[in-house]
Amino acid sequence: MADKTVNITPEELSGILSTDFIENVPFNVAVIDKNHQIVFANESFKNYFGNWEGKYCYQVYKKTDEKCRNCQSDESFVSGKILVSNETGYDKHGRSCQYVNHYSPIRDKKGNIPYQLMMSTDIIYSELMQKEYSLLFEKAACYITVIDRDFRIVRANQKFRDTFGSIEGKHCYEVYKKKKAPCNICNALETFEDGMEHSSAEVGLSLDGEETHYVVTTTPLTRSKDGISLVLQMAIDITEIYELETQLERDQEFFHSLLQHTSDGVLILDQKNKVIFMNKPAQLLLNWKGKKKPNYNTLKNMFPEEFFIQAKEDGMISDLPSTTIRNHSGEEILVRFKAFEIKYKDKKTNKIAFITDLRNQKKTEEIMFESKRDDVISETLAGISHSVKNLLMSLEGGMYLLDSGIKNNDSKRLNQGWGVLNKNLKRTTNLVKSFVDYTKGKKIELKPVNPVELTEKICEYQKPIADKYGIRIVFDTLPYINKIMLDPDGIEICLSNLISNAIDAVMLSGRNDGKVNVRVKGDEKEITFEISDNGIGMNKEVKAKLFSTFFTTKGGQGPGLGLLTIRKIVSEHSGRIEFDSNEGKGSVFRIIIPAVSKSESK
């Protein structure tokens, strides 16, 4: 298809151009004829756009069979000028590419333009890179500045400007730290001097005047013949981390001091059972001297074996209200010992032991007990002397009646006197007996007892007395209650006393539908004996004094030791007494005993 007017054949042209120059020039070079058919292309072109032989330029550049609408090449053919344009096409893999194309007419000797030289270079990569870096600089999540040798900020990214404010004509220390003079130690200065990277942690002031903590790195950016001309400063904001760190430090200090100042001994092990903390009280208790902490095997000789067992679901290892540890000097010490495990995200992290020295507490308890005992003794003596004084007064009255009866030969008065003496002799006997009752139960003897059978028996004993006054005793119980550990004699004293009191209360009310209910209730935890009546009930004054020594509502008939004795027996069963009463309506008393009763022998 060559033009007839052409003086240079394609073969001759190839000869002219196929030099090293054409092949090595860093452009994609092609030559087209007026019909846009490619007649020559270098290797670089082929590598970039693919095979060209026998193809038209648009087929190779644009991978299309249609000629371009605004064909620059046509223009260049017509005008004979060199043209340049930005083009978009496809490379040999079909990937979109942008390139700059130069269109240069090739003239023959007559000045005709039979061919055109097309040289293209890829522009997309460098443009993209530039854009990327610019974006990175602006939007990076750290503070980036470029400073010159006078420490003036030449450029700063958006995050920096947002946090520290405008930079125009300002020095870095003015913006970063709101200071008027350079810092004493300056990373940038060092980088300017030695051309190396430098880092340090700094505190600046933000636009809002808030302390801003950051770690800054300075790097040389450009060099001139005088050395480094620009330095890049990159800083990462660590304010939040710094605040967390401070908080953490404070918390650590708080807990450390808490553990250090508690009066309990505290010992903490890490997950490898290494002792990592031991407070002063623990050191004193264990008599452990020196900085080295005890190891696991040493602990095995000191701590109760319950410390070394597997922790329960809730982390508790053991809680021993009273046990002994053996300290470093082999001394056995009475302590409360509590150990538990701490977990973080289901992973065991620490084992902790709290040790309370019980030696002093024991002493305090003894002192308390003694002073209480003194109180009880003086109260008891006052009570006894009151009872005895009343008895003596009555006995003296009897004697007076007897004496004056004899003197006046008054047989009525003699009889009266004898009666009084007799009655008070019985009262004296009763008083002594109640002392014996009270002190007799000093040591209760626990044995397995069926509480229902025991109560039924006591009710039977009381029935004749109740019957005499027309009072019904109604016994009511659950069908079956397990045997529990009781002192049957002690419980009998309690129940007899309460039933007898109830009978008295009903009697005093004077009603004719008098009733005493006796109930036994229970579960696996505790047994309740309940005695209720529809008698006279108690007023506030009586309720308040109910358990004081020698308190009685029965005139001189009893010394007032009954409820006190009951309370003593019940407390020896680790139980408790409850009561309630409505004046005029009746009273209810409950003795509640734990089903697993512990003996407290003191």
Partner 1 sequence: MAKKILVVDDEPDVLTYLTTLFSDNGFDVMTANNGKECFDKARNEKPDLITLDITMPEESGVRAFKELQEDSLTENIPVIIITGITSEFKKFISTRKQVKPPLAYFEKPIDRDLLIAKVKELVGV
Sheet with 83-90: list strands edge to edge: 38-41, 28-33, 115-122, 96-106, 83-90
User: Using CB under 8 A, which of the segments 250-258, 292-300, 391-399, 430-438 binds partner 1?
Assistant: 391-399
Q: For partner 1, give the closer residue by CB, 265 or 559.
A: 559
* Nearest approach, Cβ of residue 412 and partner 1 (Å): 11
CA–CA separation, 150 and 120 (whole Å): 44
For 564-580, b/e burial (b = at least 16 CB within 10 A) is bbbbbbbebbebebebe
Encoded one letter per residue, x for contact with partner 1 by CB under 8 A and - for no contact, window 462-481 reads --------------------
Q: Which of 201, 393, 406, 436 binds partner 1 (CB under 8 A)?
A: 393
Residues 401 and 413 sit within 8 Å (Cβ to Cβ): yes
Chain residues 403-422 in contact with partner 1, contact rule CB under 8 A? 404, 413, 416, 420
Chain residues 420-459 in contact with partner 1, contact rule CB under 8 A? 420, 423-424
Q: Which of 397, 465, 492, 496 binds partner 1 (CB under 8 A)?
A: 397
| Total site size for partner 1, rule CB under 8 A | 28
* Nearest approach, Cβ of residue 561 and partner 1 (Å): 15
**Residue 149 interacts with partner 1 (CB under 8 A): yes or no:** no
User: Using CB under 8 A, which of the segments 109-117, 368-376, 382-390, 461-469 binds partner 1?
Assistant: 382-390
* Nearest approach, Cβ of residue 390 and partner 1 (Å): 5
Q: For partner 1, give the closer residue by CB, 520 or 538.
A: 538
Q: For partner 1, give the closer residue by CB, 57 or 420.
A: 420
Dihedral sign, Cα of residue 80, residue 83, residue 89, residue 93: positive
**Residue 510 interacts with partner 1 (CB under 8 A): yes or no:** no
Paired with 224 in beta bridges are 227
Paired with 171 in beta bridges are 152
Helix (H) or strand (E) holding 315: none
Q: Which of 219, 553, 587, 597 binds partner 1 (CB under 8 A)?
A: 553
Residues 151 and 172 sit within 8 Å (Cβ to Cβ): yes
Q: For partner 1, give the closer residue by CB, 47 or 385.
A: 385
* Nearest approach, Cβ of residue 392 and partner 1 (Å): 4
CA–CA separation, 88 and 313 (whole Å): 70
Q: Which of 204, 91, 218 is nearest to 147 (CA)?
A: 218
**Residue 385 interacts with partner 1 (CB under 8 A): yes or no:** yes
SS (H, E, C) 102-147: EEEEECCCCCCCCEEEEEEEECHHHHHHHHHHHHHHHHCCCEEEEE
Q: Which of 542, 574, 594, 595 binds partner 1 (CB under 8 A)?
A: 542
Residues 223 and 246 sit within 8 Å (Cβ to Cβ): no
**Residue 382 interacts with partner 1 (CB under 8 A): yes or no:** yes
Residues 406 and 446 sit within 8 Å (Cβ to Cβ): no
**Residue 381 interacts with partner 1 (CB under 8 A): yes or no:** no
Going by the DSSP 8-state scheme, the letter that residue 67 receives in this structure is: P
Q: For partner 1, give the closer residue by CB, 50 or 556.
A: 556
* Nearest approach, Cβ of residue 554 and partner 1 (Å): 8
**Residue 556 interacts with partner 1 (CB under 8 A): yes or no:** yes
**Residue 380 interacts with partner 1 (CB under 8 A): yes or no:** no
User: Which residues have CB under 8 Å from 2's CB, separation 6+?
Assistant: 9, 10, 33
Q: For partner 1, give the closer residue by CB, 8 or 384.
A: 384
Q: For partner 1, give the closer residue by CB, 209 or 555.
A: 555
Q: Is 46 helix (H, G, I), strand (E, B) or coil?
A: helix
* CA count, 13 A, side-chain hemisphere, 519: 13
User: Using CB under 8 A, which of the segments 47-55, 81-89, 550-558, 565-573 binds partner 1?
Assistant: 550-558
Residue 501: exposed, middle, or buried by beta-carbon count in 10 A (0-12, 13-18, 19+)? buried
Chain residues 44-63 in contact with partner 1, contact rule CB under 8 A? none
Q: Which of 485, 484, 462 is nearest to 475 (CA)?
A: 462
* Nearest approach, Cβ of residue 558 and partner 1 (Å): 12
Residues 539 and 496 sit within 8 Å (Cβ to Cβ): no
User: Using CB under 8 A, which of the segments 301-309, 362-370, 393-401, 511-519 binds partner 1?
Assistant: 393-401
Residues that bind partner 1 (CB under 8 A): 382, 385-387, 389-390, 392-398, 400-401, 404, 413, 416, 420, 423-424, 541-542, 552-556
